[in-house]
Each structure stands twice: as structure tokens, then as C-alpha cells.
Amino acid sequence: MRRIHPDIQDEPDIEQAYACPAGRPWLRLNMVASADGAAWLKGLSGGLSSEGDRRIFRVLRGMSDVVMAGAATVRTEGYGAVKPRESWQTLREGRPPAPPIAVVSRRLDLDLGSPLFTEAVSRTIVITCEAAPAERRADASRVADVVVAGGDLVDMSVAVRELHERGLTRILCEGGPRLNGQLAAADLIDELCLSISPLLVGGGAARILNGEASQVELRLSQVLEEEGVLFCKYTRESTT
């Protein structure tokens, strides 16, 4: 792997390259897309991934206080609980050995008996709204920490504030596109980490943001490259 922007460097330190700013909350999206903007191949993001993408993915998870994902992504990608890694010991000093997953779900259509809930080192969080079925909320509360954020819909500003109040200020969002769109519309995104795979996909695949319209000004702060895959880091214009 090499860095090609803002300077040229062979084998950059990935942990240093993706370090979060100190002393402030930070919400980053981590997504992979084809060269023509598709967020998945045959319904799954894994078809667009690479070994370099997976290395960065693991580092970003190790850095995070919590990993956020939408319920559809959790179901489609077969999410399990995040397991501790030996390489995270320094990254996670003073924190639990693995970050919890925070699942955003309005309807609570979740498999509460899956490893995501039964094997979690750090108790899984479920973010929902008041309109969610009361029985499902009660069921979820037995195996997860339930956060109610909003009335008829999940209010992402409230959801993020609730995570911050729990001390979970470094938030890594892994999608999907609709959740990403909601975060952008609420003006909550500080950073986008986008792996661009050298593939053309076409068809009906979603972009990395779907749903609500938004406009978030970003600057290209870093580009890494490995085997034709570009790893771009974009940050908010207002951040340093």
C-alpha cells in the first residue's frame, strides 16, 4: 500500500493515517463503491472489497467506540458481534476490548437470537423510535441496550446525542445507504472513508447515500492506493 495524496509514501502507518482528531466527537462513514458508484455487487458489499479494504476496515473498527449500522445492512451482510483482536490492544487501551454494534431499526425486525446479540463482548445497542412495536422493544431490551430516539421515525440527531452521553463519541457508521443519507441530511458526518474498487457494475445498485437530499461540503484529505483500489478520506470543510 502507498499514499499518493497529500504526499507520496510507501507503506504508510494505517493507524496513524486514520487517527481521529483528539478532544472532540467524530462520526465517520466507511463505505466501498465501484468506479461507477455502486454500493454493492450482487446485493453484497463484499464483492467490491479487497485485502487492503479489509485491513483498513479492521483498523477503523478498532479505533471506534461504537459501530453503527442500519437493520437492513445487518440482515443482508449477516452481522455478528465484533470480536476482540490482539492488534487492538494499544488502540483500545482504557476501553472495552471490542466496540459494540449499534443497530438502527424503526420496526425492530431483528433476529434477537443471532450471534450479534448472544455473543457480544460489549452489549449490542438497538436504536429505535417510539412507534416501534412495544412487544418487540421489550424483547430487544432483554438482549440489548435499547435507545428510543424520536417519535414516528428514528431521529439521528437524538440517536447520536444518546451515544455521546454514553461516552461513545467515536462513531463508525458502516451503512447502509439509507442510514448514510439520514446522517448526511442531519448534518452529522465528519468524515467519509471511501474505498473505490476498479469495477464497473451498473444495474440497480444503490449509491453510498440514498434517500433524503443533502449537501455536505468535503475536502479530500488523503488517498492511499493498493492493487488499483483507491482509499479516499474526505473530511468536513469546517473541521481541522
Return the pLDDT at 212: 83
Mean pLDDT of the region 47-69: 97
What is 107-118 written as a DSSP string?
S----TTSHHHH
With 70 as the cut, is the pLDDT of residue 187 above it?
Answer: yes
Task: Find the mean pLDDT for residues 175-202.
Answer: 96
Global pTM?
0.96
Tell the residue number behind the cell numbers 467506540, with chain if given: 65
Instruction: Give the cell for residue 225.
Output: 492506493
Beta bridge partners of 101: 67
Q: What is the mean pLDDT of residues 139-143?
A: 97
39 contacts 141 by C-beta, under 8 angstroms: no
Could you read off the pLDDT of 77-136 as tens digits, one per residue? 999 999 999 999 999 999 999 999 999 999 999 999 999 999 999 999 999 999 999 999
C-alpha cell at 51: 485485502
pLDDT at residue number 238: 62
Minimal CA–CA distance to 206: which of 86, 72, 75? 72
Positive/negative CA dihedral, 16, 33, 185, 107: negative
